[in-house]
Chains A and B, each alone.
Chain A
Amino acid sequence: MNFIRKFYYGDIPDQKGSDEIKDAKNPLAGGRGAGHDWPLWEVFIRSKQGLDHKHAGSLHAADSQMAIENARDVYTRRMEGVSIWVVESKYIHASSPDEAASLYEPANDKVYRHPTFYDLPDEVNHM
């Protein structure tokens, strides 16, 4: 398969880059004091009282307080939340998609856990 790539809005290939500016001085050389010092945080937002916090996205911040303030500015500019949780991304442990088949296998053959498994006469209502 030999595909020719097309150029789309928001996706200009590297080789079509500028001849003029590529020699510009790299402002990040050394990276001192850059935002990369700041850890990544995952943001969870409760959209209204009575609902669960839901993952909204992530951002960088120096500490938890700054993460909450940034989350307010980035994710709740239109009253999308009444409560914010932030947790440093490194503390999130996730299941591996490669092991999904075996991980969820125990639930696979237990159809009797679903109400539709049971055949009841039509005259039985509200059950």
Chain B
Amino acid sequence: MPVQDFEQLFQDKIDNEIKIEPKDWMPEAYRKTNIRQISQHAHSEIVGMLPEGNWISRAPSLKRKAILLAKVQDEAGHGLYLYSAAETLGMPREEMINDLHSGKAKYSSIFNYPTLTWADIGAIGWLVDGAAIMNQVMLTRTSYGPYARAMVRICKEESFHQRQGFEILLVLSRGTTAQKAMCQDAINRWWWPALMMFGPKDSESTNSDQSMKWKIKRKTNDELRQNFVDMIAEQIKTLGMKLPDDQLKWNTERKHYDFGEIDWDEFWQVVKGNGPCNKQRLEARRKAWENGEWVREAAAAYARKRADRQKDKAA
């Protein structure tokens, strides 16, 4: 069969909402796009543990500490689900980790911002996880089966993350004057970076888009971002706080909130590696990998020894 026919069959499947599975024929570009997107998503989960890990030892109570530990452990699990999904496309785990450590692979820029106060942990749960959930709920219907299944699992766990973040801020918002100020300060610092998580504006691309045609993505950046703004603009009323945007206003005609312009220079600077914590994050990952080498070696040696012992017993 000529390649065009394979491509047509492939597109027919996509159009008919039939999922693509690992052994099915797929265009090389579809494979590559999925590998890049899934592995970057995995890296984001893993690097995402770092800003929050910063507060595990400084959480204000044992309860908060246990919750934060569980949340960070979830992020590690999400990273593993996603690495496994990318591996089904023929990408070795080692190569993905290698690409992260060398700086070749990217991860979500949001994790290059620092966590300065305890309220940041609340803001991350509410805003950063909230933005991620918008994207991830859409991805539960993505066309590549293993990615979609990983997303279903992840989404089940994410709602705890967002709720615990909102609750942290809710407690602060009802606290002392200093606690209220800390709450507002965290929202001020995380709001715009959270909006940037959805990526550049749709208008930057006028042609039809391959990721949408292949149903890897089902909503555009601007659609997702608008949904997010509409949701947060309502939720913040409960906190009695304000979003740092003078132009935020309900538009009765559009039935959506209007909002101000994102600082795209900052966005690209952080993507390019010039954010506040880019170097620190990568160094932490590399160090963790290097310091873990003896553990990996010991586990391999132990497995060999146990296998030998079983062989001896059998003999």
Question: What residues make up the interface of A, taking CB atoms closer than 8 Å to B?
Answer: 2-14, 16-22, 24, 26-28, 31-38, 40, 57-60, 62-63, 65-66, 73-74, 77-78, 94, 96-98
- In the assembled complex, the Cα of A8 lies from the Cα of B198 at a distance in Å of 6
Does B16 reach chain A (CB closer than 8 Å)? no
A9 with B135, Cβ < 8 A, contacts A4-B209, A40-B87 known: yes
Instruction: Write out the residue numbers on chain A whose beta carbons fall within 8 Å of the beta carbon of B252.
Output: none
Expressed in whole angstroms, the minimum distance between the Cβ of B220 and any Cβ of chain A is 8
What residues of B have a CB within 8 angstroms of the CB of A19 in the complex? 272-273
- Given the complex of chains A and B, what is the CA–CA distance between A31 and B207 in angstroms? 42
Whether the Cβ atoms of A5 and B210 lie closer than 8 Å is: yes
Selecting from B57-65, B175-183, B238-246, B294-302, the interface stretch reads B294-302
Q: Please, could you name 7 A-B residue pairs with CB atoms under 8 Å apart, sorted by A?
A: A7-B200, A16-B106, A16-B271, A22-B104, A57-B81, A62-B302, A77-B74
Pair B296/A59 contact, Cβ less than 8 Å: no
The reply to whether the CB of B234 lies closer than 8 angstroms to some CB of chain A is no
Q: Decide yes or no whether B23 CB sits under 8 A from chain A.
A: yes
Q: Is the interface of A mostly helix, strand, loop or mixed?
A: loop
Residue pair B98, A5 in contact (C-beta under 8 Å): no
A33 and B293 contact, CB distance less than 8 A: yes
Besides A2-B207, A6-B221, 14 other A-B contacts (C-beta < 8 A): A4-B207, A6-B220, A9-B108, A11-B33, A14-B104, A18-B272, A24-B282, A27-B290, A28-B289, A38-B300, A40-B87, A60-B93, A63-B307, A98-B25
**Is B24 an interface residue when CB atoms closer than 8 A count as contact?**
yes
B247 contacts the other chain (Cβ, under 8 Å)?
A: no
Q: How far is the CA of A125 from the CA of B36 in the complex (A)?
A: 57
Alpha-carbon distance A65/B208, docked complex (angstroms) = 49
Interchain CB contact under 8 A, B24 and A97:
yes
CB <8 Å contact, A9 and B198: yes
Partner of B299, one of A22, A66, A73: A66
Q: A12-B106, A98-B25 are in contact. Are A4 and B199 (CB under 8 A)?
A: no
Q: Are A74 and B77 in contact (CB under 8 A)?
A: yes
Contacts of A65 in B (CB 8 A): 306
B297 touches A33 (CB 8 A): yes
Q: CB distance A37 to B296 under 8 Å?
A: yes
- B23:A96 contact, CB within 8 angstroms: yes
Minimum distance in angstroms from A8 CB to a CB of chain B: 5
Shortest A65–chain B CB gap in Å is: 8
A33 partner residues in chain B, CB cutoff 8 A: 293-294, 296-297, 300
A47 vs B108: C-alpha distance when bound (angstroms)? 33
Smallest distance from the beta carbon of A79 to chain B beta carbons, Å?
Answer: 13
B23 near A97 with CB under 8 A, answer yes
**Does B303 lie within 8 Å of A17, measured CB to CB?**
no
Minimum C-beta distance from A102 to chain B (A) = 15
Tell me, in angstroms, the Cα distance from A63 to B40 when the chains sit together. 28
CB neighbours of B81 from chain A (8 A): 57, 74
CA distance A31 to B213 in the complex (A): 38
Residues of chain A lying within 8 A (CB to CB) of residue B157: 77-78
Q: Does B162 reach chain A (CB closer than 8 Å)?
A: no
Report whether B209 and A3 are in contact in the complex, using a CB–CB cutoff of 8 Å: yes
Measured CB to CB, the closest approach of chain A to B217, in angstroms, equals: 6
Interface residue from B88, B199, B210, B278 paired with A3 (Cβ < 8 Å): B210
Also in contact, A21 and B74, with CB within 8 A (given A9-B199, A37-B296, A58-B84) = no
Q: Are B293 and A20 in contact (CB under 8 A)?
A: no
Annotate B209-232 by CB proximity to A: 1 below 8 A, 0 otherwise: 111010001001100100000000
Kindly name the residue among B33, B93, B220 whose own CB sees the greatest number of chain A CB atoms within 10 A.
Answer: B93
B251 at the interface (CB under 8 A from A): no
A6 touches B102 (CB 8 A): no
